[in-house]
Amino acid sequence: MPRARKSSARSGRAAQPPSDAKSKLIAAALDLAASKGWRNLGMGEIAQAAGIGLGDAFAAFRTKPSLLAGFTHQVSETVLSGGEAEGSPREKLFELMMRRFDALKRHRPALKAIIRGSVGDPAAICGVPATLNAMAWMLEGAGYSAQGWRGSVRCMALTGTYAATFRTFLDDDSEDLAKTMAALDRRLKAGPFSAGPA
């Protein structure tokens, strides 16, 4: 008679999802959001579409908001892996933020569905810390400090700039995101980023 396999709990090892589980789950969630909406989409359905077992899916992301935070981190990694931005600190910040919108461009149908499906959802607020962290990294990449009270003010200001520009981005049908670039440039010039880092 074959022996039962030891579970990770009984063998003293914590369950670890496959290294690519997070990427697969994020991709599946975005595809499903674009095709059938976000509000009623469950983690089990996402796991099934990704070909990931429930245990591994649970180890990767406990909730849909945590999956969206993982997507935010994934986009930040893409942006920051694109090499050093050039120019003045504000020009660098503009470049990094546009890299972010470029990375999001192909996911616009999913993003629209997620926004529609998150209206009135208290759990949507869980995305705020991940976005603030992402904006802190954008600032640091441009040469602005995100530390201390000045850094906190900058993070909040850039998050507001990002949110306002994001609305333009969602409806920007130009190939080169010209409307998004114009909106971002205007808001960066009007905010606390017109001068160099202090």
Residue 175 to residues 25, 105, 181: CA-CA distances in angstroms?
A: 28, 10, 12
Place of tokens 């935070």: 69
DSSP letter, residue 173: -
Distance (Å, whole) CA 160 – CA 191: 10
- Separation of alpha carbons 181 and 109, rounded Å: 20
Rounded to the nearest angstrom, the gap between the alpha carbon of residue 146 and the centroid of all alpha carbons in its chain is 18
Decide: pTM greater than 0.75: yes
Q: Are 142 and 92 in contact (CB under 8 A)?
A: yes
Domain coordinates in residue numbering, the chain: 65-190
Residue 119 per-residue DSSP state: T
pLDDT per residue, tens digit, the chain (198 aa), is 444 444 444 444 445 555 699 999 999 999 999 999 999 999 999 999 999 999 999 999 999 999 999 999 999 999 999 988 999 999 999 999 999 999 999 999 999 999 998 876 656 655 688 999 999 999 999 999 999 999 999 999 999 999 999 999 999 989 899 999 999 999 999 878 766 665
Q: What is the pLDDT of residue 25?
A: 98
If phi > 0 it is left, if psi is from -120 to 50 it is alpha, else beta; for residue 148 that is left
How wide is the angle at C-alpha 177 spanned by C-alphas 174 and 182, nearest 5°? 115
Residue 39's SS3 state is coil
Give the pLDDT confidence score for residue 4 in this predicted structure. Answer: 45
User: Given this model, what pLDDT does residue 191 score?
Assistant: 75
